[in-house]
Chain A
Amino acid sequence: MPNSQMTPGIAPGRLTKDAYAKNFTDLHAPLDAHEAAVAADRCYFCYDAPCQTACPTSIDIPMFIRQISTGTAEAAAVKIFEENILGGMCARVCPTETLCEEVCVREVAEGKPVEIGRLQRYATDTMMEKGVHPFERAEPTGKKVAVVGAGPAGLSCAHRLAMHGHDVVILDGREKAGGLNEFGIAAYKSVDDFAHREVEWLMQIGGITVEYGKRLGDGMSLADLTGSYDAVFLAIGLGGVNALRADGEDLDGVLDAVDYIAKLRQADDLSKMPVGRNVVVIGGGMTAVDAAVQSKLLGAEHVSMVYRRGKERMAASEYEQELATAKGVTIIYNAQPVAIHGDGAVREVEFEYTVEEDGKLRGTGEMFRIPADQVFKAIGQTLEGVPDGVAVERGKIVVNEHGRTSQDGVWAGGDCASGGDDLTVTAVAEGRDAAIDINATLMA
């Protein structure tokens, strides 16, 4: 008997092959040329457009949409890539409902924004599918820069530095580039190995080498790097995870959501991914939503996502929450984990209802239990492996508006650095801006 959604415990292969394929296709199908033309027509070409202001990378959105509507999607792509070299990934993963599309004048007026994200994808796909890389390197400067971390921040910084003619070496502890684009983002947002293809496409600029399996702090110190490079950019993301601090956290079946998602993203065959019949996800951010939704798509019968505060406090946007419930996830608000019960393996999770008063969270004393074969902890990632001598405050490397850290010659950006939301697009913006400042500093 093959497994089904009803198979007890944790099991792979709960669905048919077709069901996996269907569940993990593109969340938003790409626009075809006609759809893109119709969508582009809705843009008013606003003056000093709110969408552009809302974009962390300040893409000239009205202009690229105008270029799409005049049949020059490639020119639109160039416009996008000039500001955001990972415009292809951002088109797929940006929470546009809280960025550009939220402030679109047509969202405000009619509750229906111009579909900026999908139009951005249309333009960038058009150019990337042709394999064309629109930028050229400047004359070599002879300067060498080390970038630590090949996530969006590191890649964006490396590309901009390479464009300026510097030689860039990216060092990453993993065996693949892309950071969370490759290991974290939900599978249905980056289908067909897009993260990998995007890195290959980006590298066409030349002048960038990636060294895999190289961890800063692991036989390689910051002093080694500052000694042999003209500048260093730290883009190490958030490598650690917060502990739950509830009894039973060490039972079998209790996992870190990010680790599980990384395995899922790297799986050649999703039917081999084991998933619980009853899954409980603890947390309220994007990671929690992704873990919950993907468990459901892998065939879990019941998935509950439990968040300790109210709906409006959830880091995952309203849109993400609706996506989760539409896929069959039950979201429970105002409940905190007290204990995880089981004998060797987890059987159920015990929660206590909460109330929030003047920003302070307090248990009400009322308890309830949810059956669980698998528990995902998604209560936040933490900064890990910051080299000595680089100032850290409130869990982030301290940087100024140019990405400079407390140490001369060392810049930082992305999730590991202070300022901005922990989003792909923010990481891209910070990587780019640090590169601009590094270039200005090196060429001064």
Chain B
Amino acid sequence: MADLTSNFLGIKSPNPFWLASAPPTDKEYNVRRAFEAGWGGVVWKTLGEEGPPVVNVNGPRYGAIYGADRRLLGLNNIELITDRPLQQNLEEITRVKKDYPDRAIIVSLMVPCEEQPWKDILKAVETTGADGVELNFGCPHGMAERGMGGAVGQVPEYIEMVTRWCKENTKMPVIVKLTPNITDIRKPAEAALRGGADAVSLINTINSITTVDLDTMAPEPTIDGKGTHGGYCGPAVKPIALNMVAEIARNPETANLPISGIGGVTTWRDAAEFMALGCGNVQVCTAVMTYGFKIVEEMISGLSQWMDEKGYTSVDDFVGMAVPNVTDWQYLNLNYITKAVIDQDACIQCGRCYAACEDTSHQAIEMSEDRKFSVKDDECVACNLCVNVCPVEGCITMKQVMPGELDERTGQKVPAEYGNWIDHPNNPGNTCASGK
């Protein structure tokens, strides 16, 4: 069986699956059971400064988006950082770390934007034996309005400043957790790097309103007739997170900055995808809130089966392997041509591909009198929509038209050589084409 041992910033854990800073990691009772279930590490629920703890709402805190069969696809929350006393959390962290020396415990922190509070809390955390700290610059509600969390994460200068304070005041590895509520994710990542961060983790939750109650005319979750935007997470946010991770991983400036991937990780495959895009490990929140700690078993068995099949012996073998294949649109090969092919044996004749192609784009699917669906190669532009809407996995596939073969749509032979937009004759900026 493949070795899943993970070494992230010198922090060792038996596998690369950590729990993200959130309710599942808010107390000793939970974290102990998470470790018993097999989680490699946890990022403890964000701690605030000494003093009376924050207060949460006492009406509903979460809203949800469902797929078919009421499968939870997206979750939204308006919770704050831990609402338990600092001392209690610190004592619990100390006890758990002592009993689970082989697991990673990172402590998430959020205190006001001044150096002294950061100095104080770092000193306090150092006494617990924790393996590192994560700076929560992401929380999009409640704390942001108090000048913390997302309010810091949206200003690269603040990120750099606070990160530097932390690096100057502790020997523990410092992970900076980024908010996705920003236009260009590379900017905060670069700022974290300048401040001396050992790694970034992303994403925190996305500003969102999940639903509106049409009787009370209020957004949900509704507290006494009012609602507020919350943080969106779960499977629905994974594509957004993957892109942000890839942007940082392929940005020359931050290419060597370790990343902990977060956002919708639910299965071994999600984890492998984040890691292929450059994450040294992953963190999970919503999946555990939905299904419980036990899901890590599937992540462990699935990742090791896949690694065995691929011949990877360590998780580092494939981290970042997909990064070189993420590029800009302009570098895509316009001479690579495919056509959709419908497997008639697998087809259940629902006609969804037909509706999609006929009503959307290219009228490239034919429907016979006896409901046989086939692709018209002279119309198909290979948009992939039919593949995406087909309910049967693998029924519609894309087949490459090989160089030298005829593309029936253009009436041209497929060129053998690579050709992108930069050199394309239609590109007005292409001096080479217009010049000759």
Interface residues in chain A, defined as those with a beta carbon under 8 Å from any beta carbon in chain B? 33-34, 37, 41-42, 45, 47, 63, 66-67, 70-72, 74-75, 78-79
Partner of A67, one of B69, B291, B298, B393: B298
- With A41-B69, A47-B292 as known contacts, state yes or no: A70 contacts B267, CB within 8 Å: yes
Does B301 have its Cβ within 8 Å of any Cβ on chain A? yes
Closest-CB distance, A270 to chain B (whole angstroms): 30
B129 contacts chain A at the CB level, 8 A cutoff = no
Contacts of B327 in A (CB 8 A): none
Q: Which of B303-349 contact A (CB under 8 A)?
A: 305-306, 346
Interface of chain A: mostly helix, strand, loop or mixed: helix
Q: Mark B42-73, 1 if CB is under 8 A from A, else 0.
A: 00000000000000000000000000010000
Cα separation A74 to B304 with both chains bound (whole Å): 11
Q: A47-B292, A66-B295 are in contact. Are A42 and B69 (CB under 8 A)?
A: yes
* Residue in A33, A47, A70, A74 whose beta carbon sits within 8 Å of that of B298 in the complex: A70
CA distance A63 to B393 in the complex (A): 22
B302 CB within 8 Å of chain A: yes
- The CA of A34 and the CA of B292, in the complex, are separated in Å by 27
Cα distance, A79 to B305, chains bound together (Å): 13
Determine how close the nearest CB of chain B comes to the CB of A106; give it in whole angstroms.
10
- In the complex, the answer to whether A75 meets B301 with C-beta atoms within 8 Å is yes
CB pair A70 B268 closer than 8 Å = yes
Return chain A residues, CB-CB under 8 Å to B69: 41-42
A66 lies within 8 A of B393 (CB): no
> When the two chains form their complex, are residues A72 and B393 in contact, meaning their CB atoms are under 8 A apart?
no
The answer to whether B294 and A72 touch across the interface, beta carbons within 8 angstroms, is no
- What 1/0 mask marks residues of chain B from 241 to 281 whose CB sits below 8 Å from any chain A CB? 00000000000000000000000000111000000000000
Is A72 a contact of B295 with CB atoms below 8 Å? no
- Complexed CA–CA distance, A41 and B391 (Å): 13
In the bound complex, how far is the Cα of B235 from the Cα of A418, in angstroms?
A: 50
> Would you mind naming 24 contact pairs between A and B with Cβ atoms under 8 Å apart?
A33-B393, A33-B394, A34-B346, A34-B392, A37-B393, A42-B69, A45-B291, A45-B292, A45-B295, A63-B297, A66-B298, A67-B298, A67-B302, A70-B267, A70-B268, A70-B298, A72-B268, A72-B298, A72-B302, A72-B305, A72-B306, A74-B305, A75-B305, A79-B301
A-B interface, 3 closest residue pairs, ranked by CB to CB distance from nearest: A75-B301, A70-B267, A72-B302
State whether A63 and B305 are in contact (beta carbons under 8 Å apart), knowing that A37-B393, A70-B268 are contacts in the complex.
no
- Give B contacts to A, CB under 8 Å: 69, 267-269, 291-292, 294-295, 297-298, 301-302, 305-306, 346, 392-394
Complex CA gap A166/B346 in Å reads 48
- Chain A contacts for B301, CB-based, 8 A: 67, 72, 75, 78-79
Docked Cα-Cα span, A62 to B298, in Å, equals 10
- In whole Å, how far is A107's beta carbon from the nearest beta carbon of chain B? 15
Known A34-B394, A66-B298, A71-B302; further 18 A-B contacts with Cβ < 8 A? A33-B393, A33-B394, A37-B393, A47-B292, A63-B297, A63-B298, A66-B295, A70-B298, A71-B269, A72-B268, A72-B298, A72-B302, A72-B305, A74-B305, A75-B302, A75-B305, A78-B301, A79-B301
Closest CB of chain A to B11's CB: distance in Å?
27
CB-CB < 8 A to A70: which residues of B? Answer: 267-269, 298, 302
Q: How far apart are A184's CB and chain B's nearest CB, in angstroms?
A: 34
- With the chains together, A183 CA to B63 CA distance in Å? 57
Complexed CA–CA distance, A66 and B301 (Å): 11
Contacts of B269 in A (CB 8 A): 70-71
The answer for the CA separation of A42 and B68 in the assembled complex, in Å, is: 10
Chain A residues positioned under 8 Å from B292 (CB to CB): 45, 47
Q: For the complex, what is the distance from the CA of A63 to the CA of B295, rounded to whole Å?
A: 8
Tell me the smallest distance from the CB of B37 to a CB of chain A, in Å.
Answer: 11
> In the complex, what residues of B have CB within 8 A of residue A41's CB?
69
CB distance from B299 to the nearest CB of A (A): 9
For B392, what are the chain A residues with a Cβ–Cβ distance below 8 Å? 34
Q: Smallest Cβ distance from A279 to chain B, in angstroms?
A: 40
Query: In the bound complex, what is the Cα–Cα distance between A41 and B267 (angstroms)?
Result: 14
Q: Which A residues touch B294, using CB under 8 A? A: 63
What residues of chain A lie closer than 8 Å to B298, measured between beta carbons?
63, 66-67, 70, 72, 75
Alpha-carbon gap, A42 to B302, bound state (A): 20
| A212 and B305 alpha carbons, distance in the complex (Å) | 38
How many angstroms between the C-alpha atoms of A423 and B411 in the bound complex? 67
Q: How far is the CB of A83 from chain B (nearest CB, A)?
A: 14
Contacts of A45 in B (CB 8 A): 291-292, 295
A33: B residues at CB distance < 8 A: 393-394
Cα separation A37 to B394 with both chains bound (whole Å)? 12
A contact residues around B295 at 8 Å (CB) = 45, 66
Q: How far apart sit A15 and B394, CA to CA, in the bound complex (Å)?
A: 40
Cβ of B306 to closest chain A Cβ, rounded Å:
7
- Please report the C-alpha to C-alpha distance between residue A79 and residue B302 in the assembled complex, in whole angstroms: 12
Smallest CB–CB gap between B193 and chain A, Å? 34
User: Which has the most chain A C-beta neighbours within 10 Å: B69, B298, B393?
Assistant: B298
Chain B residues contacting A34 (CB-CB under 8 Å) are 346, 392-394
Question: In the docked arrangement, what's the CA distance between A71 and B292, Å?
Answer: 20
Give Cα A45 to B290, complex, Å.
10
Distance from A442 Cβ to chain B, minimum over Cβ atoms (Å): 28
Which residue from chain B places its CB closest to the CB of A47 in the assembled complex?
B292
Question: Least Cβ distance of A52 to chain B in Å?
Answer: 12
B306: nearest chain-A partner, CB-CB: A72
- Minimum CB–CB distance for A283 against chain B, Å: 42
Closest chain A residue to B346 by CB distance? A34
The CA-CA distance from A75 to B2 in the complex, in Å, is: 13
